[in-house]
Structure 1
Amino acid sequence: MSRFSNFLRDVAIPDLPHDVRVDYVVAAASQVQKQARMLFVALLITTPFAVMITPESAGPFVKWVLPVAMALYCLTGIVQLRKDNQFATKPWRAEKFIIESWLSSLIGALICTVWTIAAFLSVEGTERLHFPVMLVMGSLATAYCVASIRAAAAMHLLIDIVPISALLIFTGSVLDIAAAVSLGLAGLFQWRMINVHHNQVVELLLLKRKSQTLALTDPLTGLLNRRALLDFAEALGGDAPSRLLLIDIDRFKTINDTHGHDMGDTVLQEVARLIDSHAGNNVSSARLGGEEFALLGTREDLPAGKAAQLLAEIREAAMPHGGQVTVSIGIAEGTLEDDRAWRTLYRVADDALYEAKRQGRDRFVHAGDLETAADPRRRSEDASPETPRNVA
């Protein structure tokens, strides 16, 4: 991206909290696109009325050239805004749209201001106040429509209101000065409301993101919860094979009984940290409940060898209670094309985890090594993964 493009982006899109920047840009672009259509239609309808009150003495440039330019500008905007930009799925388009809208509004503001000042100077008497009033009404409406793009809103208020207000003041007429003061106050009030609107939108987006995080995150460990892991499984989806590691802390009840639940929670947090260190590209970590955790990812990004590595890391880690902690791990592979496939994958991994517990704990068992067809403990294919067996 060129320096000029970076400059335009930095001006058009203000500094925002990182967590909500994309959400804000998408919301702003969607809002501007929706409201700008009505704005262009309104400006287009107003244009012929402005032509009607402009005297012939103003000259063809003011009487016809500038109105035609405004009409073409409005028609072009209406046509451009009919495109389906799919901002929600393509945020980069939203950012590009905001920059383009800012530049486009600059053109509209300049046309309006030049037209108004030229018409104002060509008319005598109180009738010339019609033009500043029409300009400011259009400016306030435009600033409201592009309030999500504060740079565009500020530019409109400055370009449209400041020059004509200064011209009114310098005419010396008391009526003109009163009008200039009123226009200036209206612009300042609009700018204040734009800033209030901006802050409210950012606060709402932050609150929304916080609510989403709380709904999808285990509050103790910060890992994904079961619901979020299901969402991640749906995102992986398709025919590509995935791998699931079910991880359960061995004899965790003993830690709680001996050292207390607060210490037990601290141990859970440390184990979660070690497990989460293996998450990354196409791999997510989750706490499924109690002392059970999971790693889920594509087979390429989550090799089966991670299980042995994780066993050693947890076994050798210095734990908060001063003792050793071990885990048992069940490994399974499968596709995740639907909910039934997820349940099957979970069940197979859970069977492997159960076998690791049965064999003595502190080990992993791969589901492919099990002769599950002969295992009497095997649950039906439709068993729910929401209630895993007690395999402490």
Structure 2
Amino acid sequence: MTSRRFLGALSGPDVPAHLREDFTLLTAEHMRGQARLLFVGFILSLPMVVYGASAGAGALVAYGLPLIILLLSATGLVLLSRPRAEGDFGDARRIIDTVWKLCLLTAAVGSIWCIASWASAPLETRIYYPAIMSIGGLVLGYCLMAERSVGMTVVVVTMGPTIAVLASTGMVMDLVLAIAMAIGVGFQLTMMVRHQRLLLSLVEERHRSAELARRDPLTGLANRRALIERFEAFAERSGAVRLMVVDIDRFKTINDRFGHDMGDRVLRTLATLLASHARGEICAARLGGEEFGLLGSAEALDPAIALQLLREIGCARMPHGETITVSIGVADAVVSSPEDWNPLYAQADRALYRAKNDGRNRVMTHQSGADPDRFQTEPQALRA
């Protein structure tokens, strides 16, 4: 394997732009839980570190450095115990950065403690200090492997100086330990890349599942759930929206005469016509059966689109060799809450059924603010 391929393998997979936010959220979730356990482990191990301090080490190495690690760990626990904003990308990024900085500082202090203890210990005992450090460094890397750049830099800072010192003494056992630690670092770095690939696969699967849950499997349009979610996004902005409900006239006759497979092909053809109008913030969806919807801001979803659809659909040759007509109900509202969906849909639905009752193949618009049973009928010339 060439050095370029090796470095490419260590760099791990690139996260696609449309998955980066979800990947960061999942990474922060993993790191938050693992880092809290890590800091607790540091605190529990510090008494043993102090007890096992080298007899020749000064007070700074024996007590001062463990105290710094204690303070860093306690700070980490406090910062990571704060309530987390679910789905907040900025908060997730802050968690990752906080863990990175605290663990990097802890790794640097640990390296100083290891090298200073090793240098001041008797020959027969000093090899224990880098051995202890290697265990701590690999555990540290394992807990941080959710974020490759964090884990790699912390492992290198933790283990790199110790490996370099051991390899430079000229003593056989020091060199053996340095090589063993270097192999452990290489293994840890490889596992980090593999772990990130697993996380990325999980994010991709979640994204795929979420997309499928919001898509109508027959037509490929958004489904009712996705349309309501889009409505809720409009409601958060407190603006004027328009809903058009489109229903195929006498669709049951098509199924009865040509079969349900042909009926499905008609639905897909109609969906293609509707999708051509789903530009920008306009969402086209299949609400169920032969009923479809277009939702958008009142500014983006011009009322003329309903009339254009009526003409396009009426002129389109369908898979069964005939033309079809549709009835369209339109309703407008200024929305500010998810609860505003039901009234808006009810208004468009009533307008639709008035269009059906008045002869089909036409557009009816619910008059906002008026008696809900009063509708405006499109001009006679628009009827087929």
- Output the TM-score relative to the length of structure 2: 0.79
CA RMSD of the aligned region, Å? 3.6
What is the 5 A alignment of 1:217-236? Answer: 217-234=215-232, 236=234
In structure 2, distance between residues paired with 1:31 and 1:280: 37
Query: Which residue of structure 1 aligns with residue 174 of structure 2?
Result: 176
Deviations 1:190-221 (A, max 9, x none): 33332332222221222222222222211132
Determine if contact 2:243/2:345 at 8 Å carries over to the other structure. yes
In structure 1, distance between residues paired with 2:113 and 2:124: 18
Query: Which residue of structure 2 aligns with residue 3 of structure 1?
Result: none
Amino acid of the structure 1 residue aligned with 2:23: Y
Secondary structure of the 1:365 match is: strand
Amino acid of the structure 2 residue aligned with 1:24: F
Q: 2:131 aligns with which of 111, 114, 133?
A: 133
Amino acid of the structure 2 residue aligned with 1:31: H
Query: Which residue of structure 2 aligns with residue 83 of structure 1?
Result: 82
Query: Which residue of structure 1 aligns with residue 350 of structure 2?
Result: 351
Q: Is 1:247 the equivalent of 2:246?
A: yes
Residues 311, 103 of structure 1: alpha-carbon distance in 2 compared, 3 angstrom cutoff: farther
Query: Which residue of structure 1 aligns with residue 73 of structure 2?
Result: 74
Query: Which residue of structure 1 aligns with residue 92 of structure 2?
Result: 94
Secondary structure of the 2:246 match is: strand
In structure 2, distance between residues paired with 1:168 and 1:296: 68
Q: Is 1:192 the equivalent of 2:190?
A: yes
Shift of the alpha carbon at 1:326?
Answer: 4.4
Q: Is 1:332 the equivalent of 2:331?
A: yes
Determine if contact 2:232/2:337 at 8 Å carries over to the other structure. yes
Q: Is 1:148 the equivalent of 2:139?
A: no
Q: Is 1:158 the equivalent of 2:156?
A: yes
Query: Which residue of structure 1 aligns with residue 378 of structure 2?
Result: none
Determine if contact 1:13/1:149 at 8 Å carries over to the other structure. no
Query: Which residue of structure 1 aligns with residue 57 of structure 2?
Result: 58
Shift of the alpha carbon at 1:254?
Answer: 6.9
In structure 1, distance between residues paired with 2:70 and 2:373: 76
Unpaired stretches in structure 2, ≥5 consecutive residues: 1-9, 376-384
Shift of the alpha carbon at 1:262?
Answer: 6.2
Amino acid of the structure 1 residue aligned with 2:36: R
Greater Cα shift, 305-314 or 196-205: 305-314
In structure 2, distance between residues paired with 1:244 and 1:177: 74
Query: Which residue of structure 1 aligns with residue 305 of structure 2?
Result: 306
In structure 1, distance between residues paired with 2:315 and 2:38: 66
Shift of the alpha carbon at 1:292?
Answer: 1.9
In structure 1, distance between residues paired with 2:139 and 2:373: 71
Shift of the alpha carbon at 1:309?
Answer: 3.7
Query: Which residue of structure 2 aligns with residue 7 of structure 1?
Result: none
Shift of the alpha carbon at 1:64?
Answer: 4.2
- Output the TM-score relative to the length of structure 1: 0.77
Deviations 1:149-175 (A, max 9, x none): 111111222222233223323333333
Deviations 1:260-318 (A, max 9, x none): 86666555334323323444666432112333210234445544343224334545668
What is the 5 A alignment of 1:208-223? Answer: 208-223=206-221
Determine if contact 2:13/2:197 at 8 Å carries over to the other structure. no
In structure 2, distance between residues paired with 1:76 and 1:290: 57
Residues 15, 255 of structure 1: alpha-carbon distance in 2 compared, 3 angstrom cutoff: same
In structure 1, distance between residues paired with 2:357 and 2:54: 96
Determine if contact 2:247/2:291 at 8 Å carries over to the other structure. yes
In structure 2, distance between residues paired with 1:234 and 1:302: 17
In structure 2, distance between residues paired with 1:66 and 1:297: 61
Determine if contact 1:12/1:99 at 8 Å carries over to the other structure. no
Secondary structure of the 1:126 match is: coil
Greater Cα shift, 295-304 or 32-41: 295-304
Deviations 1:47-83 (A, max 9, x none): 3432333335333443344333323322332232232
Amino acid of the structure 2 residue aligned with 1:151: S
Amino acid of the structure 2 residue aligned with 1:32: M
Shift of the alpha carbon at 1:29?
Answer: 0.9
In structure 1, distance between residues paired with 2:106 and 2:322: 71
In structure 2, distance between residues paired with 1:311 and 1:243: 17
